[in-house]
Structure 1
Amino acid sequence: MTEEPARRRYDSLRRTAQAQQTSADIARAARTLFVAKGWAATTVRDVAREAGVSVPTVYAAYGNKNGLTWALADSADLSADVARLLTELEATPEPPRQLAVMIAYDRRLFERAGEVIVLLREACRTEPELAQAYRDARIRADDAHRQVLSTWPPHTLHPDIDLETALDIYAALCNIDVYTELTVERHWPPARVEKWWERALTRELLAEPR
């Protein structure tokens, strides 16, 4: 008699776990197809077939293809471990180390979710809503870097550049296109890219030690 009530007691938790697993399966299928076929060529029906679920199930989980793309974009930041970034920044007040921490975060982001960033940019060409989301993400990245750099002591930055120029230089060097060129086209290991970014940005952004 006690076994049946116990089973019913966990029915809600079991349904939640199953729904989360289904959503994860759909997201993985979408990412696979978006990367293989391109965002525009992939339909919701394709995603449903790849995930082994019905089309209504995809709509129920994410609304539409844009909603699914939004979910993948949100997961990109999570995969790079924002909590780790914050912990390391708070534990590392020295500007050169904080610069290295930010670069390490970007390396993790591009290494783990670079494909998602590229497909989101592709989707922006035809979807104004996603184009705005991509612009907002770029603005958030600049704002995050601005928050860190603006806490540095006076005269930390190279005397020839101001804060906004420093942000421009960071974005020009440390981005998905440079990462892809070096890792895919020129076969650099990600760790080598990270070390080069650290040397280059330290040289370009920081004043010489007095």
Structure 2
Amino acid sequence: MNDVKSGLTHRQRQALETQRLIVEAARTLFLEQGYGPTTIQAVADQAGVAVSTVYAIFTNKRGLLKAIRETWHLASQVRDLYRLAHLESDPARRLELYAQASRRQWETGAAIIRIYSSAAAVDSEAAAELETALSGRRRSMQAWLAETAPLLRADLTFEEICAIHLALTRAEVYQELVEAWGWTPGAYEAWLARTLKQQFLP
């Protein structure tokens, strides 16, 4: 990101910084107050910008929601971890990298799921976006697992492998262990890697 920014003009860097401040302000307020009660004016005040600036860049709260999700995807680097996993011929190491990817996804994004759940309760289009995102995750996971399934237990069907993996790697599992019970993200990752290997390796 720094390399990209170094090739920008001062005005472009200022614009990116303004966008970052607004997205961070929206994320904070959506978590603290909920999506419904938070106003564009409140986001502008929190970010220290004019309300017209927020509207000009993001149009509405759903635009802010999309920007928050995109920022999360860039930060998590989950796709890179899955690509790295599939360079591994050892199925145990591949499952360890799957666990690392799940940790990264929810360590950076468990809050995003809460924001989307809050938004879905008051905005049907936000609810549809959440369902689309979760369906996309299922499809992506099934595509990765299709390549790994031949290395796993022969007595499990592909559908069973997908169901077990998706159940174990849900955001709610991370939230229960880390946020409710006080596990560290590292402890979650170690548990998940161990559990995936117990479930899937011959």
Which residue in 2 is equivalent to 1:64? 60
Number of residue pairs matched by the alignment: 195
After TM superposition, the structure 1 stretch with the greater mean CA deviation from structure 2, 21-30 or 38-47, is 38-47
Match of 2:24 in 1: 28
Q: Which residue of 2 aligns with 1:3?
A: none
Code of the residue aligned with 2:53 in structure 1: it is T
Shift of 1:165: 2.0
Please give the root-mean-square deviation of Cα atoms over the aligned residues, in Å. Answer: 1.8
Q: Residue 168 of structure 1: which of 142, 159, 163 is its match?
A: 163
Q: Tell me if structure 2 keeps the 8 A contact 1:79–1:112.
A: yes
Deviation for aligned residue 1:112? 1.7
Instruction: Tell me which of 89, 93, 112 is aligned to 2:89.
Output: 93
Looking at structure 2, the residues matched to 70 and 99 of structure 1 have their Cα atoms a distance apart, in angstroms, of 30
Identity of aligned residues (%): 32
Whole-angstrom CA distance in 2 between matches of 1:139 and 1:83: 16
Could you list the per-position Cα deviations for residues 145-165 of structure 1 after superposition, in whole angstroms to 9, with x for gaps in the alignment? 2222212363x3334432222
Query: Aligned with 1:150: secondary structure?
Result: helix
Residues 81 and 97 of structure 2 are in contact (CA less than 8 Å); yes or no, is this contact kept in structure 1?
yes
CA distance in 2, matches of 1:47, 1:17: 21
Partner residue in 2 for 1:201: 196
Structure with more contact order per residue of length (Cα contacts < 8 Å, sep ≥ 6):
2
Unaligned runs of 5+ in 2: 1-7
1:189, CA displacement in angstroms? 0.7
Counterparts of 1:137 and 1:153 in 2: how far apart (Å)? 24
Change (3 A) 1:161 1:83: closer
Match of 1:8 in 2: none
Q: Does 1:49 align with 2:45?
A: yes
Give the drift of 1:178: 1.1
Q: What's the TM-score once normalised by structure 2's chain length? A: 0.88
CA distance in 1, matches of 2:86, 2:69: 26
Residue by residue over 1:143-201, the C-alpha shift from the partner in whole angstroms, topping out at 9 and shown as x without a partner, is 222222212363x3334432222111112111211111111211111111111111112
Is contact 2:82–2:101 with CA below 8 Å preserved after alignment?
no
